[in-house]
Amino acid sequence: MNRKLHLVGLVAALCVPGGVSPAGAVTNDFFNALQTAVVTATNMTATTLRSRGYLFTYSVDGWWSAYPGGAPTGRIQPVQWPAGVNAQTITTGPLGPLAQQISASITIQRADGQPFELRTFTGKILGNTAGAGAAFELMPQLNGQDAFPNPLMYDATGYAGQSFSYAPMLAGYDTYVLSLWMDYALTQLTVADAGVVTPPVLHLSMTSSNYLRLSWPTNSPDFTLLQNTNTTSAWAVVTNAISVVGTNNEAVVPVQGGQEFFRLIF
């Protein structure tokens, strides 16, 4: 059997949707189907996801119950990664109804705590706001301090399922908090930073049972392994289990007939 194995995208930073130069700003366009996220923290009122060097902390109504006094089950998340991040208003707590509804909010930060740009975002409202009116409230922060006396306001008046897109083009802040009094989902986000992503090298070797072993350093946690039979059609995420062996991430996959391509994206 004629088998050809190809590695592409070794300089993984070049594979970032939205455009990346290894010597310039790194631009991340969230959310698309190739992006993966891992839960780094969760409790009854918030969950934090990490993806591609960024942290998304969104409010959840984990104390919600189907009937008064019932066991808390939490409310469903109709928009989930990678389609977006769904924030929920919190209306109940461990001591019963809260005196004031807590707005749905999403906090965006870099995992290393450094400043970054927030260029564009799209919010999808998950309830009707047309009667009372609504606005996304965006507060940039630096070193734990609000940037402005009052948040920046972006109209979100409409009906459930309606989306609103804006381009704040903010820079120099390490945290952005986006809030709305109604449940909403963040379904598009463009952020950029001035840091340089060091692309990991993807190594290939054969196992004793003639499987293909792919490995790359564990100090590159936000890279995703993709595979394809050519370089022109859509790439797919490798679904085989990824284990940690020493200081490397490792995936073992069967060798298929014909050409095979693999790459890492950030």
Is the pLDDT reported for residue 11 higher than 70?
no
pLDDT digits (tens, 9 = 90+) for 181-200: 999 999 999 999 866 566 78
- Band (pLDDT 50/70/90 cuts) for residue 101 is low
| Residue 145: φ, ψ to 5° | -110, 135
The pTM is what?
0.72
Centre a 10 Å sphere on the Cβ of residue 217 and count the other Cβ atoms it contains: 16
- Band (pLDDT 50/70/90 cuts) for residue 210 is confident
Which stretch of 28-37, 81-90, 155-164, 226-235 has the lowest confidence by average pLDDT? 226-235
Distance CA 179, CA 106 (A): 6
Query: What pLDDT does residue 170 have?
Result: 95
Is the pLDDT reported for residue 232 higher than 90?
no
Query: What pLDDT does residue 88 have?
Result: 96
Nearest to 178, CA basis, from 127, 126, 133, 122: 122
Is the pLDDT reported for residue 133 higher than 80?
yes
Is the pLDDT reported for residue 5 higher than 60?
no
Report long-range pairs for 166-170 (Cβ below 8 Å, ≥24 apart): 166/120, 166/121, 166/122, 166/136, 167/119, 167/120, 168/118, 168/119, 168/120, 168/121, 168/138, 169/117, 169/118, 169/119, 169/120, 170/117, 170/118, 170/138, 170/140
Highest mean pLDDT among 69-73, 91-95, 128-132: 128-132
Query: What pLDDT does residue 77 have?
Result: 94
Q: Residues 60-86: what's their mean pLDDT? A: 90
Query: What pLDDT does residue 1 have?
Result: 39
Is the pLDDT reported for residue 120 higher than 70?
yes
| Structural domains of the chain, ranges and CATH numbers in brackets | 3-16+197-265 (2.40.30), 26-193 (2.60.120)
* Per-residue buried b or exposed e for 61-100, using 16+ beta carbons within 10 Å of the residue's own CB: bbbbeeeeeeeeeebebebebeebbbbbbbebbeeeeeee
Is the pLDDT reported for residue 24 higher than 60?
no
Is the pLDDT reported for residue 117 higher than 80?
yes
